[in-house]
Every structure is written in structure tokens, then in C-alpha cells.
């Protein structure tokens, strides 16, 4: 019986692992990729239509969970770490777009900060 367990394929071991497709540790990150795709789609959206608070929240989520999923929690979940890394990257890019847009309009750094957290007044 022990020899049969040693001869299982890599796919079978992955299928039955703690982060395999039979667990939430697999499906939650797969579904989270939709947020990354939505963020990539927003690159085509005019900057004035983007929400600063939403992008800050997505950036913070991506940064915090990349660290936790990749280095702190066990089992280590590379799929969750990768989706959060890209989520933070896309949100960071959108934040840079917003900041550059507001600076080109002549806003001071304080006004840009206010705009990011409160929107247009």
C-alpha cells in the first residue's frame, strides 16, 4: 500500500493537495482573477471615471495578501500570492494614472490626496 502512494503521478498529488482544485485555496484565487481582468479593462476607461478609493483598496489588498499568501500562511499558496501581486500592480498603475492626471490639471499634492480619498468636490 505504501508503494502505491509513492507511485502516484504528480497530477494526482496536486489534485489531492492542500491547495489543489478540490479546495477553496484553489477556487478563490481563480475567481479573484476577474478583479485583475476588470482592472486591465479599466485601462481603456477615461481617468476621470476611475475611483481613487477603490484603487487604493485594491492596491492595499494586493500588497497585504501577496505577502501573507506567499510567505506567512501555511500551506503556502502561490496561486493566491500571484493573483494578489497582479491585483496590486494593476491598481497601482491606475493610481499613477489618476495622480498624473490631477497633477497635469494643476492640482497640488494636497489636492491630489484629497481627490483620491474624497473624489471631485
8 Å CB contact between 82 and 90: no
Grid cell 485601462 in the structure block, residue: 43
Distances (CA, A) of 9 to 14, 15, 25: 9, 10, 21
| pLDDT of residue 120 exceeding 80 | no
pLDDT number for residue 12? 79
Q: What is the pLDDT of residues 76-94, one digit of tens each?
A: 888 889 999 999 999 999 9
pLDDT tens for each residue of 13-63? 777 777 677 776 678 888 999 999 999 999 999 999 999 999 999 999 999
Q: What one-character DSSP code corresponds to residue 74?
A: S
Nearest to 45 by CA among 101, 111, 109: 101
Give the predicted TM-score (pTM) of the model: 0.79
- The answer to whether the beta carbons of residues 80 and 68 sit under 8 Å apart is no
Placement of cell 481627490 in the chain = 115
Amino acid at each position: 500500500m505504501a508503494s502505491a502512494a509513492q507511485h502516484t503521478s504528480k497530477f494526482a498529488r496536486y489534485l489531492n493537495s492542500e491547495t489543489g482544485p478540490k479546495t477553496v485555496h484553489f477556487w478563490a484565487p481563480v475567481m479573484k482573477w476577474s478583479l485583475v481582468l476588470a482592472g486591465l479593462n479599466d485601462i481603456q476607461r477615461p481617468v476621470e471615471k476611475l475611483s481613487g478609493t477603490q484603487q487604493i483598496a485594491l492596491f492595499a489588498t494586493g500588497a497585504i495578501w501577496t505577502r501573507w499568501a506567499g510567505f506567512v500562511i501555511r500551506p503556502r499558496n502561490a496561486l493566491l500570492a500571484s493573483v494578489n501581486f497582479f491585483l496590486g500592480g494593476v491598481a497601482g498603475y491606475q493610481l499613477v494614472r489618476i495622480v498624473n492626471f490631477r497633477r497635469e490639471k494643476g492640482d497640488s499634492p494636497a489636492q491630489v490626496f484629497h481627490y483620491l480619498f474624497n473624489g471631485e468636490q
